[in-house]
Amino acid sequence: MSFQELGLRAELLRAIADQGYTQPTPIQSQAIPLVLEGHDLLAGAQTGTGKTAGFTLPTLQRLMAAPAPQGKTRPVRALVLTPTRELAAQVGENVATYGKFLPLKSTIIFGGVSINPQISALRRGVDILIATPGRLLDHIGQRTLDLSKVEILVLDEADRMLDMGFIRDIRKILALLPKQRQNLLFSATFSGEIKSLAAAFLRDPVQVEVARHNSTNTQVEQSVYPVDRQRKRALLSYLIGSGNWQQVLVFTRTKHGANRLAEQLEQDGITAAAIHGNKSQGARTRALSDFKTGQVRVLVATDIAARGLDIDQLPHVVNYELPNVAEDYVHRIGRTGRAGNQGAAISLVCVDELKLLAGIERLIKRAIPKEVVAGFEVDPTIKPEPIMKQGRQGRSDRGDNQGQAKGRNGHSGQRVAHGNRPAGKGKGSGDHHRSGHGNRPAANRGGQRGRQRPAARQGA
């Protein structure tokens, strides 16, 4: 099947051709016709399957086919909710790319940056709004946003949003939308919570799924390198140097660990940058841009990057530390091997992580090949040490963005002020989400911004 056979407009086909695409991916070929027919959709798709275009293209077409409401400014007609800033930016780029020959306007709103330019953009009129839940509720609280004309709602990475504790925010947002609308829910997994959420707002949805849950991309060559915990950094530098790897995404469990590893790689003569929730949005954007253009060779990230970074032909992903939650392994390695390209996913595994590795292999239903590097053989006398467990909140961008979580969660233990802002930061974030106060949006806690919670205990 070609994109022409999907019934897309000439302007969209032209934009697709400009990107060099000729054949839709399986999720695109299944989802696009259903969305164009007006169905509500419950779609299961892993990262890297092209799902963003699967809802972007038909949304653009449906907006063009229906007359826009009349008024002084164009109202928001399509709302896309995403869990993280990086994913919001990625969706926004897709909308701009595929809609470049259409007279539709879009904008992105998320926290960590000044709200004023966003207010100005909304006042000028927006057809398609891409937003994180926290900042969206900030705008609603300040009466800078009207959702009464929304025709299409998209929940992207819905399972991630539930992991991050956004269910109350989502329900509040749903209550503000017109009852007559089209709803599209995309999720990598269909947990009981996802099915419950879908039942609450989808109307007679059509369900599509392009891969079994927690399956890994066959385009990704996976391997495990056994190594002692104290020699991981040396092995990573050796692999990058000896293999002449020029673009490597490396995952750590904690923000502190990401910072430390980036600094150590720099000491080894390898250009590196860290990206995580304690970084300002400007710093995160610069680090990602430098990584994409080759100015930075290694991007060290926490799981905030697992489902929000879209990097063309990324050749290498390294798990410097295995995630505590096995499903996160699938999302991490899904950053490579995209769009039909080959990729390599390498995990540096010490004795502490053998149980985590076993859990990952059970999840993906295969044993990952082991490779021992000469000079880095494991010392069998080293005993395993406990790994600090991260709860659901601590392992998500919810905890990563806000810099703290309940109890000991393996993150760096930064203090967080009320009003969804990291302590000491001057700009409201809106998606440095939920500081343990019943998930109330920042707009409902306006008088408490000066108080701070005690720091969470540091787990690494």
> In this model, does residue 448 exceed pLDDT 50?
no
Position 373 scores a pLDDT of 96
pLDDT band of 306, cuts 50, 70, 90: low
Type of residue at 148: S
Percent of the chain with pLDDT over 90: 55
Position 3 scores a pLDDT of 92
- Regarding predicted confidence, which is higher, 22 or 145? 145
> In this model, does residue 419 exceed pLDDT 50?
no
Neighbours of 105 (CB within 10 A): 16
Per the prediction, the chain carries an average pLDDT of 82
Give the CA angle between residues 388, 394, 396 to the nearest 5°.
Answer: 130
> In this model, does residue 255 exceed pLDDT 80?
yes
Q: What is the largest CA-CA distance in the chain?
A: 74
Query: pLDDT tens digits for 177-218?
Result: 999 999 999 987 777 888 888 998 999 999 998 765 555 566
> In this model, does residue 296 exceed pLDDT 60?
yes
> In this model, does residue 383 exceed pLDDT 70?
yes
Question: Residue range 111-117: average pLDDT?
Answer: 91
Q: Provide the angle, in degrees to the nearest 10, between the axes of the packed helices 51-65 and 26-36.
A: 20
Say if residues 397 and 159 touch (Cβ distance below 8 Å): no
Say if residues 423 and 452 touch (Cβ distance below 8 Å): yes
pLDDT band of 82, cuts 50, 70, 90: very high
Position 405 scores a pLDDT of 31
Rounded distance, CA 287 to CA 76, Å?
A: 31
Percent of the chain with pLDDT over 70: 79
Question: Residue range 321-348: average pLDDT?
Answer: 84
> In this model, does residue 403 exceed pLDDT 80?
no
- Regarding pTM above 0.85, the answer is no
> In this model, does residue 96 exceed pLDDT 60?
yes
Secondary structure E strands in 22-169:
41-44, 78-81, 106-109, 128-131, 152-155
Distances from the Cα of 328 to the Cα of 82, 188, 305, 310, angstroms: 17, 11, 11, 16
Q: Give me the sign of the Cα torsion angle 155, 160, 161, 167.
A: positive
> In this model, does residue 399 exceed pLDDT 60?
no
Q: What are phi and psi of 78, to 5 degrees?
A: -135, 130
Which residue ranges form the domains of the chain, and what is each CATH number?
4-209 (3.40.50.300), 220-364 (3.40.50.300), 392-448 (no CATH)
Judged by average pLDDT, the poorest of 9-13, 202-206, 310-314, 439-443 is 439-443
Rounded distance, CA 277 to CA 305, Å?
A: 10
Q: Kindly state the DSSP code that residue 366 receives in the 8-state scheme.
A: S
Query: Among candidates 84, 75, 67, which has minimal Cα distance to 107?
Result: 75
Query: pLDDT tens digits for 135-194?
Result: 999 999 999 999 999 999 999 988 888 877 889 999 999 999 999 999 999 987 777 888
